[in-house]
Structure 1
Amino acid sequence: MATISRRSLISAGLGAGAIVALPGAAVAVASVPTVRDSGVRTDPFTLGIASGEPSPDGFVLWTRLAVDPLAENGLGGMPSRPVAVAWEVAEDARMTKVVARGVEQASLENAHSVHVELAGLRAGREYFYRFRTGRHISVTGRTLTSPGAGETPGALAMAFASCAQYEHGYFTGYRHLAEDHPDLVLHLGDYLYEYRKNDYVISGGNPRDHEGPETVTLEGYRQRHAQYKSDVDLQAAHAIAPWLVVWDDHEVDNNWADDIPENLDAAQQNDTLDRFRMRRAAAFKAYYENMPLRASSVPSGPDMKIFRTIQWGQLAAFHMMDTRQYRDDQLAGDGFRKNVAGRLEENRTMTGIEQEKWLLDGFRNSTQRWDILGQQVFFTERDRDQVPEIDDVSMDGWDGYAASRRRITQGWVDAKVRNAVVLTGDVHRNWANDVKVDYKDPESSIVGTELVSTSITSTGNGTGSTTDPVMAWNPHLKFYNDQRGYVNTRITPDSMTADFRVLDYVTAPGSPISTKASFRIDDGAPGLQVRN
C-alpha cells in the first residue's frame, strides 16, 4: 500500500481539481469521463466529497452539488433538472491508473446528492477518487478497501470524533485529524446541531452563527447540513479516509427517544407523535443525502437502519450502533437524577429487541481479534453521589438503561469475545474507563474498555481540567479531560493504543494540537494501561 506523508495533505481552500494527498501534482483531466455541459456555471462541489462503508472489494463514494449552499429552500441553488456527474477511481493520487469510472444522475429529489457503491476492487488497498460535471472537477479524495475476510493486517490507524457545534467554534480539530492521516474515521454523532442562531450560547458568546431557524423541515435540515459541509476543515477530514457514521440526538432533536421529542412544542413540530415522526423523516432523509452510506440505509419515512457491522479482516469488527431510534423514553427527565428505581427494570432497552439480538449474535459469530462498539452515549456507570446507597446518574446514558447495558456486557463475556472496546461521544469531555458487568461489586472483573472522545467544538474551549471529583468513588473511571479534540487509535493484533488529541482553543481558528494522554489495551487483557 502506498504511503503519503502527513505534510503533503491538502491546504486550506480545496480548490477544484486539487489532489487531497499530493497538492500541486498534475491533474489528468482528460481521464475523467466526459459528460455534457450541465449548464452549471459556477463550482458545484462546494460541499466537498467523501467516502465510507469500506468492504473488501469496494466502498461508497459521495458528493452533493450546490452552487449556493445556504439557499433557504435547502436545494443549494441547483436547477430543478437532473445533472450528470462523472466519477472515477484510481490507484494513484495523480489519477493516471484509473480502475473504475462511471456517470450518475444527481436529482432534485435527493438534493443533487450522489452515492456510488463500488464493488470488484482489490482488498486492503488504497484508492483515490474524484467527480466531474461539465467543466468543474472536484478535489481528489483518498479512500481504502478493507482487508479480505481471512486476512489479519499488521495495523489499522483509526480516529474517532463527535459533537461539532458550528456556532461554538472552528473545526480545526477536523483539520488536524486529516493531517494525522488515519485509514478509517468513525463519527459517533452530533455531526450537526439543530438549534437556531443563539439558542445554545457558550460563555463569551458564539464565534460563529447558524443560518436559518431551528431545523424541523426537510429544507431546514438540508440547509444546515450544507452549512456544515461547507467548512473546509470538515471537508479535509472527509477527503482523507473512509468514514463510518452514526447519529446521536442533535441530527434530529436534542435528547429524542424513538417517537418522543425533547419537548412538546408546536413551534418545533413536536406537539404530536405524528408531527414529530414527520420531523424525524425529514431529518433522516437529509442525513442520508449528506452521508456516504449504502442504499441499505435509505430511509423509509421516519425509519432508517444505521446499525451494521463492518469488518476489517480478522483484525477488528466495528459494530456501529443506534442508541436513539429504538430506546425507551428517558425516565424523570434527561439529566442526572437520584435513585430512579425504574432505570433498573429488566424490560428497559436502549437498543430495542432487534438491534440487541443483532449485536449479541455478532458477538457469538465474531472471529475478529477486536470487537469495537461505535456508539453514542456514556456506557460505564458514572455515579455523581459518593454515598453507596444513593445513585445519581444520567438518565440519557446507559446508566438510565442498566439492564440493557448488563445484557450487552454479559453477552460479550458469554460469547468469549477476545477484546471488547466501547467507543463513545456525546459528553463533550474525554474519558477512559474500565468496563465491568457489576459496578457495585468491587471484586467484579474488568471485561472491557470504554474510550470517550470529547467534542470537536461543542461547549467551547474547555477548562483544561484533568480531574473530575466523581473519579474518587468510581475507580473504574481512569481518565478525564476538559478540552476539545478527537481520539487517534492504532489497532494491531497485539494491542490497541489510544491518543487523546486536544486543542488549546476552538473559538478562533488555527489552534495547535497536542496529545493529552495515551493508553494501551493489550490483547486478551481488558483494562487500560498508561502508554509511555
Structure 2
Amino acid sequence: MDSIRRHILDLSRRGLLRGATGLAALGAVAPPTRQARAQAVFRSFPFTLGVASGEPAPDGFVIWTRLAPEPLAPDGGMVRAAIEVAWDVAEDDRFIRRVATGNAIARPELAHAIHVEVAGLAPGRPYFYRFRAGRETSATGRCRTAPAAGAAPARLRFAFAGCQHYEHGHFTAWRHIAAEADLDFVFHYGDYIYEYRGRAPGQPGWGPLVRPHLGEEIIALPDYRQRYAQYRLDPDLQAAHAAHPFLPSYDDHEVDNNWAGTISEEDGSTRFPIAVPPEIFALRKAAAFQAWYEHMPVRRAALPRGPDITAYRRLDFGGMARVHVLDTRQFRDDQPCGDRTGPACAEVARPDAQMLGAAQEAWLLGGMADSPARWNILAQQVPMMRRELRGGAISMDKWDAYPAARQRLLDGIAERRTRNPVVLSGDVHVAMASTVRAGPGAAAVATEFTATSISSAGDGVAMTPAGEEMLRRNGDIGFFHAQRGYCVAEATATQLTTEFVSLPFVTRPGAPREIAGRFVVEDGRVEVKGGGG
C-alpha cells in the first residue's frame, strides 16, 4: 500500500509539472483546440484507459475514450486545455475501408473524455474504430450496429453482468465476456465501481482484499474520476469494452451504498445517526453522475444536469427485441423499515410506493404497449421476483419492499398483453432464474434472470444454506448459484436461452469458464425450462 501511495504522489507531482509546462506552451490567449492538437505530443501514451462503444442503433453507435497519460494523477496527467482528437470507423481492423472519420474535442471540464455519436452506417453489421491524438493511436475497438427497424434477424445474442468490486477479486469474467462470439451488446446493470475507502492488508472490511482501492471513500469529483480510472486500467475490463458495445446503467455504488432518490445511506437512522441532508447529498450525486457519464459510452442525452440525469432509455433491435434500460435508484422512495432485512413493517404496504417514479413508469408501460418486438427486455438493477428469506424476511432495498409499485407495473404489462417480457437484474451477488407473478398464485407475467457478480464477495460456492432455504420458500425461483460470473442470452423467433456462466474462483487470476445452468423461455410461454449444470 505504501508503495502505491508513493507512486500516486509521484504521478501527482509530475502531473502538476506537466500542467504548468503545457499551459505555458499553449499560451493564454491562443484558441486551445487547434494549437493543442498541433502540439499534442504526450510524454506517455494517452489512451491508457482503453476504448469503448455503446448504444447501438441501426445507423451507428457511440464510441468513447478518455485522454489520460497518467490516469491516477490529478486531471489524468493532462493540461487543462481542450484537445482535438481524430477518430476513424472502418469495415476492417486495418482501417483500409474507412466509412466514417472526424474530429472530436476532449474537454478538461469532462476529464478529456470523448463521446462520438457515429451515424450513417449500415445496419446489422460489425465495424472497427480507433482514436488518434498527435502521434499516438488508441487500441482498436469493435462494435456492431443494430438490425434495421422491422428486420427479422436470425438471432440476438447478448451478455449481462455487474457488481465488480475491485478489492474482492480479479475481473476474469470480463476476459471471458470479451471472448464471447458475436454479442450484439452487453448490459451492465450497475455497481461498475465501489465507493468504499481502500483497505490495508489485515484491516477489517466486507469481503476479501485481493487488490486495494486507492484513497478514502469517494465523495468529490476528482475522487470518482480516480476510482473509475483505477477500474478502467484493468486489462480484462478493457478487453470486454473493446470487443462489444455496452448498454451501461448504474445501481447504488456508483454514488453511495443503498442511496434512494434524494436520500443518502447516511439518513439519520440508528445505523447512521448523523444524517446527510438532501441538499448536501445532491452535491455528491452531481459529482458521481458526471464521473459516470465521463466514463461510459452513452449519448449526450445522458449528460447530467447537476444531481439529475436521464439514464433510462429504449433501444430496438429490429423486430427481435426491444430493450428498456431502467433506473431503479434516482426516482424511488427511501427504503422502508429502516432499510433492514427483516419482516415487513406497515410502511411496506403504502399504496403509492415508487420504484421507477411516475414519469419513468408511464414511459415504460407506453413502450411496452406499442412494442413491435418479439422479446421485451426490462434491463434493470435489483430483483423484481418475490424472495422470502429466512423467517419470512424481505430485503428492503429490492422490489419486495415496494409491492404496490411492482403490482402496478406487472398489472400494466398484463393489461397491455406485452409479448414475452423478460426481466434482467443483478445486485445480490448470486445467480437466479424465476417466474414473476402479479401476486401469490396469480398467473405468470414475466420471467427473470438475475446475474451474479463479476467479483463482489470474492470466491463463492455453488449452493449455500441460504440458497437452499430460498428455493424451499419460493417455488417460483427455479435456480440459485452463488459463484461469480455472468449471463449470456440468445433470442430467436422461437425461444430465448440464457446460460449462467460461473467462475470457480476470482481471488486469483485464470479461472476457467463453466456453465452453471441453462434455461429456455419459449415464445408465448412465460415460464422457464431447464436447470443447473
TM norm structure 2: 0.89
1:178-223: per-residue Cα shift (whole Å, max 9, x none)?
11132210000101000011288355x4010001211100010011
Q: Distance in 1 between matches of 2:125 and 2:331?
A: 36
Q: Does 1:216 align with 2:194?
A: no
Equivalence for 1:380: 385
Query: Secondary structure of the residue that 2:127 maps to in structure 1?
Result: strand
**Displacement of 1:157 after TM fit?**
1.2
Equivalence for 1:232: 235
Which amino acid is the alignment partner of residue 299 of structure 2? Answer: R
Matches within 5 A, 1:363-442: 363-385=368-390, 391-439=392-440, 441=441
Contact residue 495 and residue 520 of structure 2 kept, 8 A: yes
Which amino acid is the alignment partner of residue 401 of structure 1? Answer: Y
Equivalence for 1:195: 196
Q: Distance in 2 between matches of 1:529 and 1:219?
A: 48
Equivalence for 1:45: 47
Contact residue 337 and residue 344 of structure 2 kept, 8 A: no
Matches within 5 A, 1:58-97: 58-71=60-73, 73=74, 75-97=75-97
Query: Secondary structure of the residue that 1:409 maps to in structure 2?
Result: helix
Q: How many residues align?
A: 488
**Displacement of 1:344 after TM fit?**
2.2
Equivalence for 1:142: 142
Equivalence for 1:352: 357
Q: Distance in 1 between matches of 2:210 and 2:97?
A: 44
Query: Matched residues, percent identical?
Result: 45
Contact residue 269 and residue 279 of structure 1 kept, 8 A: no
Q: Measured at CA, do residues 385 and 209 of structure 1 come closer, stay the same or move farther in structure 2, by a change above 3 Å?
A: closer
Equivalence for 1:130: 130
Contact residue 430 and residue 451 of structure 2 kept, 8 A: yes
Query: Secondary structure of the residue that 1:527 maps to in structure 2?
Result: coil
Equivalence for 1:445: 443
Which amino acid is the alignment partner of residue 394 of structure 1? Answer: S
Which amino acid is the alignment partner of residue 188 of structure 1? Answer: Y
Higher helix share: 2
Equivalence for 1:19: none
1:97-124: per-residue Cα shift (whole Å, max 9, x none)?
1000011111111100000011111111
Q: Measured at CA, do residues 456 and 243 of structure 1 come closer, stay the same or move farther in structure 2, by a change above 3 Å?
A: same
Contact residue 284 and residue 302 of structure 1 kept, 8 A: yes
Q: Does 1:262 align with 2:265?
A: yes
1:463-496: per-residue Cα shift (whole Å, max 9, x none)?
2216431211210010000100000111111111
Matches within 5 A, 1:473-512: 473-512=473-512
Query: Secondary structure of the residue that 2:480 maps to in structure 1?
Result: strand
1:393-436: per-residue Cα shift (whole Å, max 9, x none)?
11100001001111111111111111010000100000000111
Contact residue 37 and residue 135 of structure 1 kept, 8 A: no
**Structure 2 unaligned regions, length at least 5:** 1-35
Matches within 5 A, 1:237-252: 237-252=240-255
Q: Distance in 1 between matches of 2:328 and 2:204?
A: 23
Contact residue 37 and residue 133 of structure 1 kept, 8 A: no
Contact residue 216 and residue 269 of structure 1 kept, 8 A: no
Q: Distance in 2 between matches of 1:374 and 1:93?
A: 31
**Displacement of 1:513 after TM fit?**
1.1
Contact residue 170 and residue 508 of structure 2 kept, 8 A: yes
Which amino acid is the alignment partner of residue 59 of structure 2? Answer: D
**Displacement of 1:37 after TM fit?**
3.8
Q: Measured at CA, do residues 144 and 270 of structure 1 come closer, stay the same or move farther in structure 2, by a change above 3 Å?
A: farther
Query: Secondary structure of the residue that 1:178 maps to in structure 2?
Result: helix
Which amino acid is the alignment partner of residue 495 of structure 1? Answer: Q
Q: Does 1:336 align with 2:341?
A: yes
Contact residue 47 and residue 67 of structure 2 kept, 8 A: yes
**Structure 1 unaligned regions, length at least 5:** 1-33
Equivalence for 2:32: none
Which amino acid is the alignment partner of residue 205 of structure 2? Answer: V
Greater alpha carbon shift after TM alignment, 270-279 vs 101-110 = 270-279
**Displacement of 1:270 after TM fit?**
6.3
TM norm structure 1: 0.89
**Displacement of 1:35 after TM fit?**
5.6
Equivalence for 1:117: 117
Q: Distance in 2 between matches of 1:355 and 1:158?
A: 24
**Displacement of 1:334 after TM fit?**
2.2
Q: Measured at CA, do residues 52 and 269 of structure 1 come closer, stay the same or move farther in structure 2, by a change above 3 Å?
A: farther
The RMSD of aligned alpha carbons is 1.8
Which amino acid is the alignment partner of residue 454 of structure 1? Answer: T
Match of 2:313 among 308, 317, 335: 308
